[in-house]
Amino acid sequence: MATRVVVDPVTRIEGHLRVEAMLDSDNKVHEALSSGTMWRGIEVILKGRDPRDAWAFAERICGVCTTVHALASVRSVENAVGITVPKVAEIVRNIMFLTQMVQDHVIHFYHLHALDWVDVVSALSADPAATATLAQQVSPHWPKSSEGYFRDTAATLKKFVESGQLGLFANAYWGHPAYKLPPEANLMAVAHYLEALKWQKELIKIHTVFGGKNPHPNYLVGGMPCSIDLQSDNAINIERLELVRAKILEARDIVEQLYVPDLLAIASFYKDWAAIGEGLGSYMCYGDVPQNGIGDPAHFRFPRGAILHKNLGEVLPVDPTHGDEILEEVGRSWYRYPEGKAALHPWEGHTEAHYTGPKPPYEHLDENGAYSWLKTPRWKGNPVEVGPLARMLVGYASGRADFKAVVDGALGKLGVPATALFSTLGRTAARGLESQLAVGWLQDEYDRLIEALKGGDNNTADTIRWEPATWPKDCKGFGFTEAPRGALGHWIHIQDGKIANYQCVVPTTWNASPKDAQGRRGAYESALIGTPMADPQKPVEILRTIHSFDPCLACASHVYGPDGRELAVVEIG
């Protein structure tokens, strides 16, 4: 009988994900199920509310990607009622967005994904002097690379392990034959894990300058809720902006001296993963980081577009407001649609819980029935992957020189062809490479901000259409961003100044979706097919590919009851 491997819950992610993988007799995955096993009710409370408040609720869909739901939300309202935000507000939003992206990617690499490749216990047998030599080769400009530094790190780690309370490092498959790094590389990675953990709280201070707090910084329909005046004691002045500049420079060091060198060093031991985890081969982005207003995608730093079937020769146009382009199905999800409806555009979106799965605790999901709290979004009928790899490929295939430079640079260093991008390794590398772009863009956006301010422009909000009385009686809007995990869209329908309908289709819904009506797999499921497993009892290979997407199930399984009715009763007993 075929072996079925169940990983539930998948850890080192946000939210609750279950994966079931069916193995052939040679222990390769031949079928997979990706299931969101939680659902939440954030959107239900949006209905009937003031659209100007929506960002504050929507932002709390997630505590990880935090700022992006606020950004998509204010953009959806601005799009609906016809507001164009001032240039300075847009630059500040770009800085907030890029800060979030860099912080999230570094955390993902070191704290959520690295331990799939780095064996912490093996680090204990590393020679600190040899580790110092290695570190100086890998990151010649990073100051902390002495023998003493690595001796101290090893001593800290040893104390930690001997205490028997692994804490952060508990529950991994230490000693698994799939770990390939020498002990010194493992110790170097553990040291940098700790460095990155200390640093990430520093970068995010940028959010506190412009948004007052983090997580969940403040936003404003029409602009940003901050006043900037270089000379004032009562506004964001040059002293605060100097802090922002310093944090951007630190981020640049972390990405260029630690993250990308570590990524390439670790990847060089795992080149076989450039041929594993390809998945759909189709990708989509909405694009972001506008240079000339959100209505002009031709001038986004992240371009908009789609690639189908690995054809890098053609970037297809994407219009998420077109009624047929993006449709969500629920045939394999625990929801039901109105009679006769098989797929709905988010502006007509409908969410009605209808659990038909097995009664917990259960052994297996029903692969022939519904098996997830995630819906199944499709672009022009195609399953597509969203996220860093999609963004890097769309940028690369669009012929953008900045994308080509970082991608070709990494491929050259690793000595692998461009086809290596279509893989688990490619997905993980893409996250580092776009962080390289993002830290450069952060500096550029900061310079644009200072230039505007020096020119006397410090307008951070357009409040001409603040009052709902100035809005159309019935209007629809689309707000979007490129969240760390990929294309994020919020669709709003406003009637008489109140929210009539609000739907989010988030990155993890695209990537972790169950099958569609034609039986085609989502991105996670598809990427697992063909994966070889060394030991089905210790499925580290499944974690490598699933983690390469950086799952967030909290984002993906928000639920909206269109009539505000009770969706389910949960009994605890």
Query: Interface with ligand NFE by CB under 6 A: which residues?
Result: 14, 62, 64-65, 68-69, 483-485, 488, 506-508, 552, 554-556
What DSSP line would sit under 417-436, residue for residue? Answer: -GGGGSSHHHHHHHHHHHHH
CB 158 within 8 A of CB 128: no
In the complex with ligand NFE, the residue whose CB is nearer, 14 or 90, is: 14
Q: How far is CA 413 from CA 265, 318, 408, 416, 431, in A?
A: 10, 33, 9, 8, 16
Q: Closest approach of Cβ 480 to Mg ion, in Å?
A: 14
In the complex with ligand NFE, the residue whose CB is nearer, 138 or 437, is: 437
In the complex with ligand NFE, the residue whose CB is nearer, 134 or 374, is: 374
552 binds, among Mg ion, ligand NFE, none (CB under 5 to 8 A by kind): ligand NFE
In the complex with ligand NFE, the residue whose CB is nearer, 62 or 181, is: 62
Closest CA to 351 of 17, 39, 30: 39
Q: Closest approach of Cβ 53 to ligand NFE, in Å?
A: 19
What DSSP line would sit under 53-66, residue for residue? Answer: GHHHHHGGG-SSST
CB 259 within 8 A of CB 407: no
Q: How far apart are the first and last CA of the chain?
A: 36
Instruction: Give the angle subtended at the CA of 255 by the CAs of 253 and 256, to the nearest 5°.
Output: 65
Q: Closest approach of Cβ 558 to Mg ion, in Å?
A: 6
In the complex with ligand NFE, the residue whose CB is nearer, 51 or 484, is: 484
Residue nearest to Mg ion (CB): 504
556 binds, among ligand NFE, Mg ion, none (CB under 5 to 8 A by kind): ligand NFE
Q: Closest approach of Cβ 15 to ligand NFE, in Å?
A: 7
Instruction: Give the angle subtended at the CA of 559 by the CAs of 558 and 563, to the nearest 5°.
Output: 155
Distance CA 100, CA 188 (A): 26
What DSSP line would sit under 348-377, residue for residue? Answer: G----B---SPPSS-S---TTS--BSS-EE
In the complex with Mg ion, the residue whose CB is nearer, 344 or 504, is: 504
In the complex with ligand NFE, the residue whose CB is nearer, 153 or 214, is: 214
Q: How far is CA 50 from CA 68, 71, 221, 386, 472, in A?
A: 20, 16, 11, 31, 14
Residues 398-427 that bind Mg ion (CB under 5 A): none
Residue 399, exposed/middle/buried by CB under 10 A (0-12, 13-18, 19+)?
Answer: exposed
508 binds, among Mg ion, ligand NFE, none (CB under 5 to 8 A by kind): ligand NFE
Give every CB contact of residue 409 below 8 A, 6+ residues apart in sequence: none
483 binds, among Mg ion, ligand NFE, none (CB under 5 to 8 A by kind): ligand NFE
488 binds, among ligand NFE, Mg ion, none (CB under 5 to 8 A by kind): ligand NFE
In the complex with Mg ion, the residue whose CB is nearer, 213 or 354, is: 354
Closest CA to 108 of 331, 399, 430: 430
Q: Closest approach of Cβ 40 to ligand NFE, in Å?
A: 11
Residues 486-545 that bind Mg ion (CB under 5 A): 504
In the complex with ligand NFE, the residue whose CB is nearer, 435 or 508, is: 508
484 binds, among Mg ion, ligand NFE, none (CB under 5 to 8 A by kind): ligand NFE
485 binds, among ligand NFE, Mg ion, none (CB under 5 to 8 A by kind): ligand NFE
Q: Closest approach of Cβ 558 to ligand NFE, in Å?
A: 10
CB 210 within 8 A of CB 92: yes
499 binds, among Mg ion, ligand NFE, none (CB under 5 to 8 A by kind): none
Q: Closest approach of Cβ 557 to Mg ion, in Å?
A: 8
CB 298 within 8 A of CB 398: no
Distance CA 16, CA 14 (A): 7
Q: Closest approach of Cβ 505 to ligand NFE, in Å?
A: 9
Q: Closest approach of Cβ 504 to ligand NFE, in Å?
A: 8
In the complex with Mg ion, the residue whose CB is nearer, 446 or 480, is: 480
Q: Closest approach of Cβ 351 to Mg ion, in Å?
A: 7
CB 428 within 8 A of CB 548: yes
Residues that bind Mg ion (CB under 5 A): 504
